[in-house]
Every structure is written in C-alpha cells, then in structure tokens.
C-alpha cells in the first residue's frame, strides 16, 4: 500500500517537472524568436511608438498690399516644456542651478508661484515623472509645461535661464516651434484675405493661392515625450521645410480703410443686414478696396462673407445702364427722343409697373427719364424695341456682348455665374412681363463685382478689363510670377454709344432732376446710377408684397477722366431711408471724397504746361517784411527778383511781368515805423519793440492801415492796425 502511494507521488512529481521543462522550453523558444528571429521587427515597432519621422510645417508666405505692407504673415510661436529627467542632465547641474531657475520662472513666467514654491514644484514633478517612468516603462507624460504659445522674445528669454541655457539634452529644455497666421490690419479685408483649414476649406486669397503660399513640408526624426508632444531627436532635419512664397495684392489699405469705415457708419445708421463696397482702378481693373460687413450675434460688425464676389442679387435700377447701352448700340433710340412716362404708372398685361417716386410727368426726354430713374420710361423703350421673340433674343445677345453673362474670374473661390433667362424659354419661366422687368434689373442676377466690371468698362471708354487682386508672386523680394492686366480687344460698344451713356451717368448727378443731384460735390466730380431693388417681392391680386429693399450706387470718379470705379450695395436697410440715393450714395460720396484727399493723382496737374508769364497785377506788390524771409520765399517759388535793398527790412515791387524788385524800407530807432504791407508778426515785432501798445483789427492778410503816420516821434503810444 505504501509502495503504491510512493509511486503515485513520484509520478506526479515527474509530470510537474516535465510540464515545467516544457514551459521553460516554450518560453526560451519565444524569447529566442522575439529577440533574435523577430528582433528587428519588434524593435522597429517599439521605436515607432516613441520615435518616428514627423512632418515639419513650412512657414507660410506673406500676403502684401501693393506698397508692401503686411496683410497676412506667419508669426512663430513656441510651446516650451521642461524634461527634468533628461538622460544627459548632470545631477551637479541640477543642484547648482535649480534655485536660480525657480527664481527666473516665478519672476518672469508664472508669478503665481514664489521662487521657493516654484523650486518645490519642480522637485515634486521631477520625482513624480521619474517614478511614473520606472513603473510604466513607457514614455507617458515626461515633461513639465512651462509656457504655451510663447513669442520669440519670450522663448529667447526662457532659453537664457540657468540650466535651460545648456540646451535640449543637458538642460532639459523642450521648445517646439509652430506658426500662427497674423493680420496686422485686423478686420480690414478680412474675408478677401481668407484662410485655409485642412485640405478642403480654402477661402479668399489664402485659399486661392495656397499652392504658392503654403511652401513645402520638411521631415524630422522626433521622439514623443507624452500627450502628443514630439521634440526633435537632433538639431538636423532630414528634409528642411521650404518657406512659402509671398503674394503681392493690388489692395490700397488707405482706400480699404476709407471704404470699411464708411460702410460701418451706414450699417449702424440704417441697421442694414449686410453691406459691400468695391473700388477698382478704371484703366487696369486692379481692385483697390473690397469691403463686406455683416452683423455678428454679439451685435458687432464682422466680415462673415464676401458678398462682393459671392452673392448674386437683382441689381435693380443700376442695370438700366446696360439697357440704355443696348438700345443705343443697336441704333434704336436717340437721347433727345421723347418717351411717355404715363405719370409714373403703366400696365404690362395685367401687371402694373410704377416709378419709385410719384410724379405727373407725361412726355420727357430719354435723358431725363434715365436721370430720374423712371421704371416706366426705360421699360417702355426696351419693350417697344425688343418685345418679339427674335428681338428679345437680340437684347439678350447684346447684353452678352457686354460680358454681363460671364463671371469675372477674380482670384477668389466661390464666384457664381450671372443668371439671365433665355428669350421665350419655358424652362426659364419667361413670361410676357419678363422683358420689361429685366430692363430695369429684375428677373436676372449679378454679383456686385460683375456689375461694377461693366460700369468700369463704360468709364474706360468701352474697354473691358478683367478685375484682379494679385499683381505678382515673389520670394525674398524676387519676382517669380507676374499677373498682367487682362484687357479684351476692342470695345464693348462704339465710342459714340459709350460717350452717350457717360453723358447719361453725369446727368444723374449734375441735372436738377437727377436722383443723385442733392449729393453732388463742388470739390470733385463723379458720375453714376442709383438703384433701389425690392427683395422677396410677391405680386398679389391688388398689391405687391415686399420683404425688404436693397440700396445701391455704381459709378466712377472723376467724371471727366475717371481713375476709379466704385459700387456700394446695402441690403435691407431698416431705418433712415431705403432708396439708393439716401442709403448707398452717401457712402459712395464719402469713399470718393476721402480717396480724393488721399490721392494726389486725382488732382489736375497745375504745372503740366509751359510756365505762363504772370500778369503784373497778380504779382506780389508792395508787400513788406524781414528781407531774408522774403528772399527765401521768392527762391522757393522760383521767382526772379532784383535786389536793390540794403539792411534788414525791405519791400517787394513788381518790376516786369515775370520779375520782382526788392527795395529798401528804412526803420528809424526813434520814430514810428512804416508797417504797411507787412504781416502781423513782423508788424508787432517792430511796433512793440518801440514800446507801443498795438490793437489789431482783422484776422488775416497784410497791414492795410496804421493809425499813426510813419515817421512820427515814438513815445510809447497806442496804435491800431487793420489787416486785409
């Protein structure tokens, strides 16, 4: 019995031993397989968790104004952290510098700590991170965040702190660079400049020219220090990133600022839904300003959408210019012809069309009908001449010849195609009232930029130029690519027709019956057309239901030799007016007026021709004063003079039509001086130095009279002088 039990125990021991040996063999085999046969594979996989090639973002190129000012630039920022357990850090360095480092961090980076508190914090974090790494045997969080989004100056300061100044490995300093887009002009041209998000959102110039601006990414071996933070394994990138190229725009930030400020005031004054304005160089099509304003939820203004480029609208009366040019170019009317305005009301089938402002006029010239923006007059002209199917198609084709049916191709994504109905096409819902309504800017749609481009062609004597926003692409100041002015050969219409519609646009402003007459200026000239559009209108049985209005003005300045074209559109004004003449025109005038002040090129050149001999009567004569001052002024004015004077004081006298003579004026030490012809400063100097009390009548000009005769004994009398 005992033998049986002994044998059973031995069997069990042998079984267990065999199992242990088998397990050991399996473990040894797996160890050999993992470490030797598959070693490279697993080591590579392990390294990939903590070491890998990481793309290095390139610095994006700048977007510049026409004069080189920065519109958008990439500003470098840094996430700065500290690895207190860096393998190259020496314990002696830690002990030597920890107090100084804590003082610097508490003083210059995080004042919420005292120097002692900062030292304790660093010591605690160092120990906690070390214990975590030993237990977890993985990267985990192995750093202390010092400052996020540090500027260059802040990064340089922190890098100079004790211990940190020993670098990445010995000092444990982790400094990861990144770039953020900065716009020095803030809101100005915000939507036009645009932005890029990921691979699918490309807005404005940033999006359109992204291939130029983004540069080329580099490659850098980096290791992970936790929480998605990677730092370079060494100071050398495997592939260096290439900075992006700079885009130079046509924008003039003086005009841009003028436009946005004027729009902003109008948005507040009229409580409008949105507003847009564009200023374009007539000869080249260069966009000088493009402004858009909308309301944010917090009640402030922002540029949420580029309405100038992306919003199709029914233009209303500003489109009447295209109808008039079509009629003139087809030889169907003359501006001196008369048209029956039917006292401002007419019927097309069973639908009534009326003028915006009530009147009792019947017969009026075509020029007057246009200047007063008569819906009845313009629609009657178009309907009379183009009502049949063939003629309606001629009207559409004539509009197409003005390039009104095509997008401008501006360098911003999202420009829609203009919308025009095809003549008598049922799919386009052409009806008997379509033609008269089209003639005054309804049942069709254009963006503000597309309409302005047409007005610009009229201002440019019929020469159509493509609007553009970018002049060139450059890098380090060297031009890599230019974008030349794109000009369509020939004119959109004959010079005769263009001259006539220019005359019409001037009449809108200059004639007493013109809708812009009250806002004309005696400081500069401009020409253009007002527009008031009904939005969301429904023709009901006995009335037209309207959901709002759109006020606009399109034109150019100066009227005689246009330099800039401009359009202003303000949507759904809720107070202080709804008409283009009251809402949009004042904004246009403010933009034009302030642009005039800021641009000398808009003023006529006074010395363009040969110098004309000045009439003797218009030359300075008998003006007196301090002689050296008079000589200086005459020299600056490049006026010839003959010096016949001696002493400090003199008088100028006209000698010939183109020259002057300086003669002496004697000043006695004991008598009242002759101050006639002098300025107030010189007269006061001489009289008060004689001890005289001076009373002055008048504010401007030279001394015309003095109460005490020159040469009288000076006794400290009171003398009055009159300026004039």
pLDDT the model gives residue 128: 82
Q: How far apart are CA 378 and CA 9, in angstroms?
A: 119
Q: How many CA atoms lie within 13 A of 548 on its CB side?
A: 15
Residue 162 within a domain: yes
107 vs 630, higher pLDDT: 107
Q: Is 576 left (phi over 0), alpha (psi -120 to 50) or beta?
A: left
Q: Are residues 490 and 437 in the same domain?
A: yes
Q: pLDDT tens across 113-139, in order?
A: 999 998 999 888 888 877 776 665 454
CB 173 within 8 A of CB 144: no
Residues facing 693 on adjacent strands: 718
Q: What is the pLDDT of residue 324?
A: 98
Residue 474 lies in a domain: yes
> Do both 273 and 392 map to the same domain?
yes
For 706, the 3-state DSSP assignment is strand
Q: What are phi and psi of 407, to 5 degrees?
A: -70, 160
pLDDT class of 300 with cuts at 50, 70, 90: very high
User: Around Cβ 383, how many Cβ atoms within 10 Å?
Assistant: 19
pLDDT interval class at 51 (50, 70, 90):
low
Cross-strand partners of 179: 76
Two structure tokens written together for 656: 């010939």
Q: Report the domain count for the chain.
A: 5
User: What are the tens digits of pLDDT across the range 218-250?
Assistant: 887 776 666 566 666 655 556 778 899 999 999
Does residue 380 sit in the same domain as residue 269? Answer: yes
Range of the domain at 625: 614-666
Quote the DSSP letter at residue 140. Answer: S
Query: For residue range 600-656, what is the model confidence (pLDDT) as tens digits?
Result: 666 655 555 555 555 455 567 778 888 888 888 888 877 778 787 777 888 888 766
Say whether both 406 and 366 belong to one domain. yes
d(CA 328, CA 396): 15
Query: What tens digit of pLDDT does each residue of 585-598 get?
Result: 999 999 999 998 87
Query: What does the pLDDT look like over 165-181, one tens digit per residue?
Result: 988 888 888 888 888 88
Residues 328 and 230 in one domain: no
Residue 341 and residue 227 in one domain: no
Burial of 220 (0-12, 13-18, 19+ CB in 10 A): buried
Q: Are residues 586 and 660 in the same domain?
A: no
Model confidence at 36: pLDDT above 80: no
In angstroms, the CA 418 to CA 444 distance is 8
State how far the Cα of 690 lies from the Cα of 591, in Å rounded to an integer.
54
Are 652 and 625 found together in one domain?
A: yes
Does position 33 have pLDDT exceeding 70, yes or no?
no
Residue 528 confidence (pLDDT)? 97
Last residue of a domain, one of 645, 666, 687: 666
Question: Percent of the chain beyond pLDDT 90?
Answer: 51
The rounded percent of the chain whose pLDDT value lies above 70 is 87
Please state, in angstroms and rounded to a whole number, the distance separating the CA atoms of residues 396 and 723: 68
Q: Encode pLDDT of 679-708 as tens digits.
A: 888 888 888 888 889 998 887 788 888 888
User: pTM score > 0.75 for this model?
Assistant: no
DSSP string, 583-603: HTHHHHHHHHHHHHHH-GGGS
pLDDT in tens, 349-404: 888 899 988 899 999 999 999 999 999 999 999 999 999 988 999 999 999 999 99
Q: In whole angstroms, what is the distance from residue 652 CA to residue 654 CA?
A: 7
**Spatial distance between the Cα atoms of 626 and 378, rounded to a whole number of angstroms:** 68
476 shares its domain with 572: yes
Q: Are residue 136 and residue 261 in the same domain, yes or no?
A: no
Compute the mean pLDDT over every residue in the chain, rounded to the nearest whole number.
Answer: 87
Q: Is the pLDDT of residue 161 over 50?
A: yes
Question: Does residue 204 fall inside a structural domain?
Answer: no
Rounded-to-integer distance, Cα 718 and Cα 724, Å: 20
Check residue 140 and give its pLDDT: 47
Question: Would you say 150 and 78 are in contact if contact means Cβ atoms under 8 Å apart?
Answer: yes
Task: Judge whether 322 lies within some domain.
Answer: yes
Is residue 711 assigned to a domain? yes
Q: Are residues 415 and 400 in the same domain?
A: yes
CB 566 within 8 A of CB 279: yes
Gap between the Cα atoms of 318 and 322, Å rounded: 8
Rg (CA), the chain: 41
Confidence class of residue 544 from pLDDT cuts 50, 70 and 90? Answer: low
Task: Answer whether 58's CB lies under 8 Å from 196's CB.
Answer: no
Q: Is the pLDDT of residue 40 over 80?
A: no
Backbone torsions φ then ψ of 64, nearest 5 degrees: -120, 155
* H-type alpha helices, 183-234: 190-193, 204-208, 210-213
pLDDT exceeds 70 at position 189: yes
315 assigned to some structural domain: yes
Q: What average pLDDT score do residues 489-500 get? A: 94
Cα torsion angle, 260, 261, 263, 268, sign? positive
Q: For 225, which DSSP code? A: -
Distance of CA 498 to the CA centre of its chain: 32
Distance from C-alpha of 620 to C-alpha of 270, rounded to nearest angstrom: 52
280 within some domain: yes
- CATH number for position 225: 3.90.1310
229 located within any domain: yes
Residue 39 has pLDDT above 60, yes or no: no
Query: Mind spelling out the 3-state secondary structure of 163-187?
Result: CHHHCCCCCCEEEEEEEEEECCCCC
Q: Determine the average pLDDT of the residues in 249-272.
A: 96
Mean pLDDT value of segment 13-25: 77
Q: Which of 231, 218, 224 is nearest to 177 (CA)?
A: 231
Phi-psi group of 187: left, alpha or beta (phi > 0 → left; psi -120 to 50 → alpha; rest → beta):
alpha
Residues 316 and 435 in one domain: yes
Tell me what percent of the chain is helix, strand and coil, each rounded to the nearest 5: 35, 25, 40
Model pLDDT, residue 425 = 93
**Which of residues 602, 627, 650 is at a domain's end?**
602
């Amino acid at each position: 019995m005992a033998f049986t039990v002994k044998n059973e125990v031995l069997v069990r021991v042998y079984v267990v031993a065999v199992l242990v040996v088998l397990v050991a063999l399996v473990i040894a085999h797996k160890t050999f397989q993992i470490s030797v046969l598959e070693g490279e594979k697993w080591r590579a996989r392990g390294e990939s968790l903590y070491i890998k090639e990481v793309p290095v973002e390139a610095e994006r190129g700048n977007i510049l104004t026409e004069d080189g000012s920065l519109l958008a630039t990439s500003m470098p920022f840094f996430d700065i952290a500290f690895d207190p357990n860096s393998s190259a850090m020496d314990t002696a360095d830690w002990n030597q510098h920890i107090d100084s480092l804590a003082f610097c961090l508490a003083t210059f980076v995080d004042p919420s700590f005292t120097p002692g508190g900062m030292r304790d914090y660093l010591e605690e974090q160092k120990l906690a991170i070390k214990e975590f790494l030993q237990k977890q045997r993985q990267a985990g969080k192995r750093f202390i965040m010092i400052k996020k989004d540090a500027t260059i100056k802040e990064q340089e300061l922190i890098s100079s702190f004790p211990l940190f100044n020993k670098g990445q490995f010995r000092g444990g300093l982790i400094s990861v660079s990144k770039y953020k887009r900065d716009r020095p002009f803030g809101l100005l041209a915000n939507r036009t400049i645009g932005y890029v998000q990921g691979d699918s959102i490309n807005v404005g110039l940033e999006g359109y020219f992204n291939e130029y601006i983004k540069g080329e990414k580099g490659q850098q071996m980096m290791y992970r220090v936790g929480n998605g933070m990677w730092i370079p394994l060494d100071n050398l990138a495997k592939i260096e990133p290439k900075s992006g190229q700079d885009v130079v725009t046509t924008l003039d930030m003086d005009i841009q600022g003028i436009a946005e400020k004027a729009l902003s005031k109008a948005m507040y004054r009229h409580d409008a839904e949105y507003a847009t304005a564009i200023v374009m160089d007539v000869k080249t099509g260069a966009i000088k300003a493009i402004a858009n304003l909308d309301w944010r939820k917090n009640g402030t203004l922002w540029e949420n959408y580029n309405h100038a480029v992306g919003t199709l609208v029914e233009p209303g009366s500003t489109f009447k210019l295209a109808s008039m040019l079509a009629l003139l170019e087809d030889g169907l009317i003359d501006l001196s012809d008369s048209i029956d305005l039917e006292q401002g009301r007419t019927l097309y089938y069973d639908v009534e069309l009326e003028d915006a402002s009530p009147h009792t006029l019947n017969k009026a010239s075509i020029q007057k009908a246009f200047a007063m923006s008569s819906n009845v007059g313009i629609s009657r002209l178009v309907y009379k001449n183009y009502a049949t199917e063939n003629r309606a198609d001629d009207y559409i084709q004539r509009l197409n010849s003005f390039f009104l049916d095509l997008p401008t191709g501006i360098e911003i994504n999202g420009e829609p195609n203009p919308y025009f109905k095809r003549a008598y096409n049922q799919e386009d819902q052409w009806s008997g009232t379509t033609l008269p309504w089209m003639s005054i800017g309804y049942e069709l749609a254009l963006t503000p930029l597309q309409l302005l481009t047409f007005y610009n062609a009229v201002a440019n004597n019929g020469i159509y130029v493509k609007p553009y926003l970018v002049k060139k692409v450059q890098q380090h100041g060297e031009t890599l690519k230019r974008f030349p002015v794109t000009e369509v050969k020939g004119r959109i219409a004959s010079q005769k027709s263009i001259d006539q519609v220019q005359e019409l646009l001037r009449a809108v402003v200059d004639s007493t019956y013109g809708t812009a007459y009250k806002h004309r200026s005696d400081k500069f000239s401009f020409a253009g057309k007002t527009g008031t559009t009904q939005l969301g209108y429904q023709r009901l049985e006995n009335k037209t239901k309207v959901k709002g209005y759109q006020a606009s003005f399109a034109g150019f300045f100066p009227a005689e030799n246009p330099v800039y074209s401009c359009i202003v559109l303000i949507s759904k004004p809720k107070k202080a007016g709804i008409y283009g003449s009251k809402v949009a025109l004042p904004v246009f005038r403010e933009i034009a007026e302030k642009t005039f002040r800021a641009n000398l090129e808009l003023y006529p050149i006074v010395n363009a021709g040969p110098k004309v001999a000045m009439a003797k009567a218009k030359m300075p004569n008998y003006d007196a004063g301090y002689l050296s001052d008079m000589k200086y002024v005459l020299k600056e004015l490049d006026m010839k003079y003959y010096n016949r004077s001696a002493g400090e004081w003199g008088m100028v006298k006209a000698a010939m039509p183109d020259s002057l003579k300086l003669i002496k004026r004697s000043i006695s030490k004991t008598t009242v001086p002759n101050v006639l012809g002098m300025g107030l400063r010189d007269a006061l100097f001489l009289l008060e130095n004689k001890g005289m009390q001076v009373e002055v009548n008048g504010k401007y000009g030279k001394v015309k009279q003095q109460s005490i005769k020159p040469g009288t004994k000076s006794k400290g009398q009171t003398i009055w002088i009159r300026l004039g």
